[in-house]
């Protein structure tokens, strides 16, 4: 699993890390029972403070996606591959509806981002 962060992005570094792990779980790239990299190792690989990674892991734990155990690390407890497929289906349906209504993809993306 490759994680990258963009210090100039609007989202915090912890949010960026959590989002990438969340997406890997949703896609089935990380499955139930798999361990995430130790916080120190991940922090070193993406050049962030270890507390940033721990914040990301805490958010994932709050979402019920991982389990944190002192001395044992972070383990995926809920795989979301089926959820990701369902979301993909909903997105395809949304794109079809937008096309029927004559809404451009750019306008649809703006709507999704909540800018309109």
User: Whole-angstrom Cα distance, residue 26 to residue 94?
Assistant: 19
Which range has highest mean pLDDT (21-25, 36-40, 91-95)? 36-40
Any bridge partners for residue 66, and if so which?
76
Classify 83 as helix, strand or coil: helix
Give whole-number Cα distances, 45 to 9, 18, 24, 33, 35, in Å. 18, 15, 17, 23, 16
pLDDT tens digits, one per residue of 59-100:
999 988 999 998 889 999 977 655 667 778 888 999 999 999
Would the pTM of this model clear 0.85, i.e. be above it? Answer: no
Do residues 73 and 36 touch, judged by C-beta distance below 8 A?
Answer: yes
Could you state, in order of their start, the residue ranges of all structural domains in the chain? 13-79, 82-113
| CATH number belonging to domain 13-79 | 1.10.10.10
């Amino acid at each position: 699993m490759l994680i990258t962060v963009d210090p100039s992005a609007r989202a915090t570094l912890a949010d960026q890390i959590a989002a990438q792990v969340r997406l890997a779980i949703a896609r089935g790239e990380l499955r139930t029972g798999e361990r995430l990299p130790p916080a120190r190792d991940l922090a070193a690989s993406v050049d962030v403070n270890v507390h940033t990674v721990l914040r990301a892991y805490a958010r994932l734990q709050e979402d019920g996606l991982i389990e944190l155990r002192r001395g044992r690390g972070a383990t995926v407890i809920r795989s979301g591959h089926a959820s990701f497929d369902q979301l993909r289906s909903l997105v395809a349906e949304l794109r079809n509806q937008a096309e029927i209504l004559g809404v451009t993809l750019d306008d649809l993306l703006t709507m999704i981002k909540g800018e309109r």
